[in-house]
């Protein structure tokens, strides 16, 4: 099983890295860029007994370690492998 996880800042949280890239792109001439948000993308290879178990465990991993739920939200999808 492969878990594909996106961790992004919640609405209203300052994203200085995104702001920097936004200005850099505008400076390079990409005037069509209106906003940039930067988050994390994680791929976790799992040896889980079932998709139901993986769903519960990955959610727990996100809440305990992978996302700071005060300022970040997460979403994930599970993809069967081999």
Integer Cα distance of 67 and 34 in angstroms: 26
Q: How far is the CB of 43 from a second copy (least distance, A)?
A: 5
Instruction: Tell me the C-alpha to C-alpha distance, in Å, between residue 58 and each of 30, 34, 46, 78.
Output: 38, 33, 9, 9
Q: What are φ and ψ of residue 10, in 5° steps? A: -70, 155
Q: Does 24 engage in binding with a second copy (CB under 8 A)?
A: yes
Nearer to a second copy, 33 or 68 (CB): 33
Judged by CB under 8 A, the chain residues 31 through 50 that form the site for a second copy are: 32-48
Q: Does 11 engage in binding with a second copy (CB under 8 A)?
A: no
Among candidates 61, 79, 62, 78, which has minimal Cα distance to 8? 62
Q: How far is the CB of 71 from a second copy (least distance, A)?
A: 16
Interface residues with a second copy (CB under 8 A)? 6-8, 18, 21, 24-25, 28, 30, 32-48, 54, 57, 61, 64-66
């Amino acid at each position: 099983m492969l878990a594909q996880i996106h961790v992004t800042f919640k609405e209203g949280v300052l994203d200085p890295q995104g702001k920097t890239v936004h200005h850099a792109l505008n400076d390079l001439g990409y005037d069509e860029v209106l906003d940039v948000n930067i988050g994390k993308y994680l791929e976790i290879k799992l040896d889980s007994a079932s998709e139901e178990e993986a769903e519960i465990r990955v959610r727990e991993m996100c809440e305990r370690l992978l996302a700071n739920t005060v300022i970040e939200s997460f979403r994930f999808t599970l993809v069967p492998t081999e």
